């Protein structure tokens, strides 16, 4: 439905006599709109100083929020102004603050509302807000709340996660389901039923070599399958390895043979690839240059872990 609003301009032609000694007090009149604009302009300009593109501005605001805004574990701060003043807020506040700062440096950004999947909401029914930003690359998806850190035991910890900026839409949909389907930014939008059946995969896997569209295509074809468990060491080791060939499915079968290939991107630092079963370290990875290959055929039910250097990065469950 299209609503058209018509404005009528009425001209008064009656003549009035005005005194000639009226003083101009226009400068004395406060303009709260202009004052607010100037305040936000002064807030954002130091943040985006030196940025020459919309993309750079978006990244600068994202980085600033991740470094300066804590998650409000009292769940009481929702608005941009209070978020700025208190330096904390819930996801709605993070998102509204981003949009407010963006608007005052000629950057177009919009808050997206929807559902999310977290460890406490694995069925994807958590309420959440994030942001889309218009840049030279087109509209990109970001989540400054999840980029800033995490909540554990009722306390927030700053832990910067750059991979929540400019997220591949094919990976964003694993954890973020917008109210408006077009905010998925996917050529073939995912249904709510499909979303609820997807596993918990976040965009850090793209930094380790997984292609978002391949991952999404796999799990849409095999709805209900789980993904591997990704440890904190996965994030801490990003940039040191590439997943060349490992299963998307988080469950392995006893008696089935798997050929795993992982590349060490820090081989000159002595970073190698290893693995272990529940209580048994496996040393049979073959190395050719920076590429490590392991032919694995589990003989019993167990947990199969993969490590990069001294960091465990992911786990598979082996079942019959």
Per-residue pLDDT band at 120 (split at 50, 70, 90):
confident
Residue 5 has pLDDT above 50, yes or no: no
Residue 16 has pLDDT above 70, yes or no: no
The whole-model pTM stands at 0.86
Percent of the chain surpassing pLDDT 90: 83
Instruction: Report the pLDDT value the prediction gives residue 278, as an integer from 0 to 100.
Output: 81
| Structure token pair of residue 209 | 């070599």
Q: Are 285 and 274 in contact (CB under 8 A)?
A: yes
Closest CA to 260 of 201, 310, 306: 306
Q: Are 275 and 285 in contact (CB under 8 A)?
A: yes
Q: Are 285 and 310 in contact (CB under 8 A)?
A: no
Q: Which residues of 83-108 are buried (b: 16+ CB within 10 A; e: fewer)?
A: bbeeebbbbbbbbbbbbbbbbbbebe
Q: Where in the sequence of the chain do the CATH 3.10.620 domains occur?
A: 36-224
Between CA 22 and CA 259 the distance in angstroms is 89
For domain 228-320, the CATH class is mainly beta
Per-residue pLDDT band at 84 (split at 50, 70, 90):
very high
For domain 36-224, the CATH class is alpha beta
Q: Where in the sequence of the chain do the CATH 2.60.40.10 domains occur?
A: 228-320
Instruction: Report the pLDDT value the prediction gives residue 33, as an integer from 0 to 100.
Output: 59
Find the mean pLDDT for residues 26-55. 82
């Amino acid at each position: 439905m299209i609503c058209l609003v018509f404005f009528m301009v009425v001209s008064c032609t009656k003549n009035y006599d005005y005194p000639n000694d009226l003083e101009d007090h226009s400068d004395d009149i406060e303009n709260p709109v202009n004052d607010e604009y100037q305040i936000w302009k002064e807030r954002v300009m130091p943040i985006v100083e030196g940025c020459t593109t919309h993309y750079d501005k978006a990244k600068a605001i994202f980085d600033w929020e991740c470094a300066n805004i804590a998650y409000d574990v009292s769940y009481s701060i929702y608005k941009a102004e209070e978020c700025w003043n208190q330096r904390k807020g819930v996801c709605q506040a993070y998102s509204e603050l981003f949009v407010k700062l963006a608007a005052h440096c000629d950057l177009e950004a919009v808050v997206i509302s929807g559902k999310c999947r977290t460890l406490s909401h694995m069925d994807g029914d958590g309420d959440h807000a994030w942001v889309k930003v218009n840049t030279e690359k087109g509209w990109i998806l970001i989540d400054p709340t999840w980029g800033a850190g995490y909540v554990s035991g009722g306390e927030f910890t700053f832990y910067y996660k750059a991979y929540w900026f400019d997220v591949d839409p094919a990976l964003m949909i694993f954890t973020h389901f917008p109210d408006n389907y077009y905010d998925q930014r996917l050529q073939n939008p995912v249904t709510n039923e499909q979303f609820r059946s997807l596993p918990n995969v976040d965009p850090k896997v793209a930094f380790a070599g997984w292609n978002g569209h391949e991952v999404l295509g796999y799990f849409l074809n095999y709805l209900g399958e789980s993904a591997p468990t990704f440890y904190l060491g996965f994030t801490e080791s990003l940039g040191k390895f590439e997943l060349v060939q490992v299963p998307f499915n988080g469950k392995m079968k006893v008696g089935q043979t798997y050929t795993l290939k992982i590349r060490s991107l820090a081989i000159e630092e002595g970073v190698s690839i290893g693995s272990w079963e529940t209580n048994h370290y496996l040393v049979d990875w073959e190395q050719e240059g920076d590429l490590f290959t392991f032919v694995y055929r589990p003989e019993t039910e167990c947990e199969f872990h993969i490590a990069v250097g001294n960091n465990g990065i992911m786990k598979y469950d082996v079942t019959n």
